[in-house]
Amino acid sequence: MEWKILHFYPDLMSLYGSYANAAVLKRYLERLGGDVSVHFIRPGEQADLAAADFIFMGAGTERSQKAALADFARYGQAVRAAADSGTAMLFAGTAMELLGQTLVDNAGQEYQGIGLGQFTSVQGKQRFVGDVYGTTALCPEPVVGFMNKCARISGVETPLLSACAMGFGNEAEGGPEGFCRGNVLASELTGPILVKNPQLLKVVVKALYDRRGTQLPAEQPVDDYAAAGYAITAEQLRLRSEKTAG
């Protein structure tokens, strides 16, 4: 089975090892017997989103984010159409903020997002930095990650994480975090999120197969190192969150 991944702005939006989200998905699909091609899209280049199986953009600085938005805005209609068709996507870190209606920087300048979500991001002087431990309806296991952002995001109707036992959510400590619309996942969590959370990687893979109308193979690849790393991280964050709550 052939798969096509579009990786937007690998140079501009590449903080915190974001590229590994696409790399780990590619490796997983190949271990399932797939033939996977990754196409790197840079500013000014053309991309056919309708032909993609997975669309990805990683985290960048606030300055890089604005440069990415200046180019990505032209794909707004295509992204919305791809989302409606069930295309799987991941927008990690500050890339999430491009999906909303507006983005306001810390000087008060407003930028138009692509309108996939109805939310607004307002960047301030304060940064929210630290580990995150939360829950999602997409899988029974907790989600772990690291956050370094300066935006409060309001108006998200369908968050990725329903609550955070540890960490800052979209607009409040312990609140819901991220954005989810169909097969589109977005989160300020970095690390990268699909490497740190093998269960979310499986959610993405299932979405890819479901969209093709194809049954997943009975035997799934197992990455013992990733599973062990997740187990240790999740347990330590759980203990820290319980200690803080107590």
Residue with tokens 């759980």: 238
Residue with tokens 């991001």: 121
- Tell if the pTM clears 0.85, that is, is over it: yes
CA distance 45 to 149: 28
- pLDDT tens digits, residue range 71-124? 999 999 999 999 999 999 999 999 999 999 999 999 999 999 999 999 999 999
Residue 246 has pLDDT above 80, yes or no: no
C-alpha angle 61/62/68, rounded to 5°? 85
Q: Judge contact between 66 and 111, C-beta under 8 A.
A: yes
Residue percentage of the chain with pLDDT more than 70: 100
Strands 102-104 and 110-112: antiparallel
What pLDDT, on a 0 to 100 scale, did the predictor assign at position 243? 86
Residue 44 has pLDDT above 90, yes or no: yes
CA distance 200 to 196: 9
Q: What value does the CA radius of gyration of the chain take, rounded to a whole number of Å?
A: 17
The residue range of the domain holding 40 is: 2-245
**Which positions ≥6 away from 242 have C-beta within 8 Å?**
none
* Phi, psi (deg, nearest 5) at residue 74: -70, -15
Structural domain total, the chain: 1
- pLDDT tens digits, residue range 153-197? 999 999 999 999 999 999 999 999 999 999 999 999 998 999 999
What pLDDT, on a 0 to 100 scale, did the predictor assign at position 93? 97
23-35: average pLDDT: 97
Length of the chain: 246
Query: DSSP letters along 170-225, please?
Result: SSSBTS-BSEEETTEEEES-BS-HHHH-HHHHHHHHHHHHHHHT-PPPSSPP--HH
Q: Residue 42's domain is classified under what CATH number?
A: 3.40.50.880
- pLDDT tens digits, residue range 5-19? 999 999 999 999 999
**Which positions ≥6 away from 153 have C-beta within 8 Å?**
96, 97, 100, 119, 120, 121, 122, 170, 171, 179, 188
